[in-house]
Amino acid sequence: MIMTLEGSFHWLACAPRPDAPIAELLRMAWQFLSLSLFSLGGGNTLLAAYHHLSVERFCWLTNNQFADIYALAEAAPGPSSMIAGLIGMSSALGEGLPWELVSAYTAETALLLPSTLVMIVACLGWKRFSHSPWRVAFERGMGPVTLGILFSVGLKILRTADNNIGGVLVSAIVCVLMLRTRISPLWFMAVAGVLGAWGLNQR
């Protein structure tokens, strides 16, 4: 929702969907290409941007669906950027499984290829500047920036997924246990999976 100069509020409408699937594929690929070079600190730093694109701008997903695919991407083996493929697949829902798979692989490739090439080039010359003042300043500055981004992403996911007091309490309890104990996150995900399956069986 935005406020105009006159002081009235208007809901932002979803971007219109192209008639041709290839046009939607190219538009989706461009979005991930644009994000690729800004994934400082890993794929999770882009979650707020993923949410904006998939839920608020193009309406490929609802808030609950976004929270679900984020949980799936985190629980499944592999990199956290797996969520990009799931969003890509969501952008092509209804076009058939082959097209959905093409969209998933296109999203992953568009996200990973540019940043990978940049990192390869950067690593080749990074050691040459190991004692350079600008390199030290860059590394010290990027730490707080990355932590700030991750913190804001955590709050974004919290608001997206926890739409009731029960969800907020569960998130708070897990957060405290993660900070105060050495329990592996895998145990929390396993318990969540069991409780989720039990909840489905009760319906």
Domain ranges of the chain: 19-161
Q: Which two tokens stand for residue 169?
A: 């309490």
| pLDDT at site 1 | 41
HSE-up of residue 20 (Cα within 13 Å, Cβ side): 4
CB contact burial 2-11 (16+ within 10 A = b; e otherwise): eeeeeeeeee
pLDDT tens over the chain, length 203 residues: 433 333 333 345 688 888 888 999 999 999 999 888 777 666 677 888 898 899 989 999 988 888 888 888 877 777 778 899 999 999 998 888 999 999 999 999 999 998 888 888 888 877 777 778 887 788 788 778 878 877 877 777 777 665 677 777 888 888 899 889 988 888 888 887 787 777 666 66
Considering Cα of 8, then 12, then 13, then 15, what sign does the dihedral take? Answer: positive
Give residues with Cβ within 8 angstroms of 72, minimum separation 6. Answer: 86
- Whole-prediction pTM: 0.72
The radius of gyration of the chain from alpha carbons, rounded to an integer in Å, stands at 20
- The answer to whether the beta carbons of residues 100 and 93 sit under 8 Å apart is yes
- The answer to whether the beta carbons of residues 71 and 196 sit under 8 Å apart is no
Q: What angle do CA 146, 144, 182 make, to 5 degrees?
A: 75
Give residues with Cβ within 8 angstroms of 3, minimum separation 6. Answer: 9
DSSP 8-class letter at 15: P
| pLDDT at site 203 | 60
Q: Which two tokens stand for residue 124?
A: 């080749």
